[in-house]
């Protein structure tokens, strides 16, 4: 009987659901609701792709919640990092109900925060103060701009998020002239490029342009479009303004910046060569929101070999 009981116990263990180990760090990803046209702002497909790319990475477990903020904020409890890929402004999921207070409690416990694309934009009245504290920078209307342009990243910093990267170029909706902490205190530029003149083709507007940003572009000033930040309490933040076009996640460098950034804010060691992942054309077709129509043609992307 003892032998039979032992066999039954082993069988139950073998078929028990797989759960994360207690020593693994939880990374919670929040995808915003459907937005824009096909192939654009594919929040759900994006975070599920990140989850796939990080599957099997030692020491972490990745949880994904789609279609906006989780129904129960308690799922964020104990997270090493929260990643938000969503629309921003007044509809930002972090600005609804008591969500800023939920995040504030997490930040005070050392939780990291990564915001991708439009999710870097709170409002000046609600969230800007917190975002400057938590991730070091944000989009500010009537100051920052959101043109589509080919950014040429010629140099990369000595930072864990830049591990495994080489200089590259990518066309996306790269926001710039961002609002950062005074003096860039605790903020490190990860991706920076000189905006092309066509970024100022639109008339002035809350997201389109203003005299100050036009002067900066005319002078050829380098603009930070992705950054890392550290808080005095040891917490970490990451902002990435690209991510408008879903197909850009198929580029190894573009994708690696974000995967490295996610690990870094969770205080997980980024490998010397960065996060290694493979994304196929078929992978990019998975989990897209049912928006109807066809995605726009893939934006031009150029990989520039590193200078040896």
Alpha helices in 83-159 (DSSP H): 99-108, 128-134
In percent, the amount of the chain with pLDDT more than 90 equals 86
Q: How far apart are CA 135 and CA 153, in angstroms?
A: 21
Find the mean pLDDT for residues 161-172. Answer: 98
Angle, helix 252-265 to helix 43-54, in steps of 10 degrees: 80
What's the pLDDT at 28? 98
Q: What domains can be seen in the chain, in order of their start residue? A: 24-285+296-303 (3.40.50.880)
Instruction: Summarize pLDDT for 65-100 with one digit per residue, the tens.
Output: 999 999 999 999 999 999 999 999 999 999 999 999
Q: Is the pLDDT of residue 284 over 50?
A: yes
Instruction: Summarize pLDDT for 241-256 with one digit per residue, the tens.
Output: 999 999 999 999 999 9
Find the mean pLDDT for residues 168-194. Answer: 98
Find the mean pLDDT for residues 199-203. Answer: 97
Nearest alpha-carbon partner for 81 in 107, 111, 57:
111
In percent, the amount of the chain with pLDDT more than 70 equals 88
Alpha helices in the chain (DSSP H): 2-14, 43-54, 99-108, 128-134, 211-218, 252-265, 281-284
* DSSP tag of 151: E
Name the more confident of 300 and 270.
Answer: 270
Instruction: Summarize pLDDT for 7-37 with one digit per residue, the tens.
Output: 333 333 333 333 456 679 999 999 999 999 9
The average confidence (pLDDT) of the chain is 90
Instruction: Summarize pLDDT for 42-53 with one digit per residue, the tens.
Output: 999 999 999 999
* DSSP tag of 22: T
Q: Is the pLDDT of residue 173 over 90?
A: yes
Q: Is the pLDDT of residue 144 over 60?
A: yes
Number of H helices, E strands in the chain: 7, 12
Instruction: Summarize pLDDT for 120-142 with one digit per residue, the tens.
Output: 999 999 999 999 999 999 999 99
């Amino acid at each position: 009987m003892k032998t039979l009981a032992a066999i039954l116990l082993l069988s139950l263990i073998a078929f028990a659901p797989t759960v994360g180990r207690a020593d693994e760090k939880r990374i919670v990803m929040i995808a915003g609701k459907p937005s824009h046209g096909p192939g654009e702002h594919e929040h759900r497909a994006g975070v599920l792709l990140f989850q796939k790319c990080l599957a099997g990475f030692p020491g972490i477990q990745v949880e994904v919640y789609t279609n906006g903020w989780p129904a129960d904020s308690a799922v964020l409890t104990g997270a090493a990092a929260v990643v938000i890929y969503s629309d921003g402004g007044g509809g930002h999921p972090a600005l609804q109900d008591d969500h800023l207070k939920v995040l504030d409690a997490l930040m005070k416990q050392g939780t990291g925060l990564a915001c991708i694309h439009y999710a870097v934009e709170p409002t000046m009245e609600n969230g800007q103060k917190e975002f400057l504290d938590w991730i070091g920078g944000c989009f500010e209307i009537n100051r920052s701009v959101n043109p589509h342009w080919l950014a040429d990243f010629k140099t990369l910093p000595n930072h864990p998020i830049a591990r495994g990267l080489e200089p590259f170029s990518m066309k996306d909706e790269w926001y710039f002239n961002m609002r950062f902490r005074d003096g860039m205190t605790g903020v490190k530029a990860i991706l920076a490029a000189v905006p092309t003149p066509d970024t100022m083709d639109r008339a002035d507007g809350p997201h389109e342009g203003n005299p100050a940003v036009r002067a900066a572009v005319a002078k050829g000033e380098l603009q930070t479009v992705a950054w890392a930040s550290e808080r005095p309490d040891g917490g970490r933040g990451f902002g990435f303004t690209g991510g408008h076009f879903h197909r850009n996640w198929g580029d190894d460098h573009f994708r690696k910046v974000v995967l490295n950034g996610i690990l870094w804010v969770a205080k997980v060691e980024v490998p010397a060569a960065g996060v290694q992942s493979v994304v196929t054309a078929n992978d990019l077709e998975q989990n897209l929101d049912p928006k109807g129509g066809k995605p726009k043609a893939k934006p031009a992307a150029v990989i520039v070999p590193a200078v040896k």
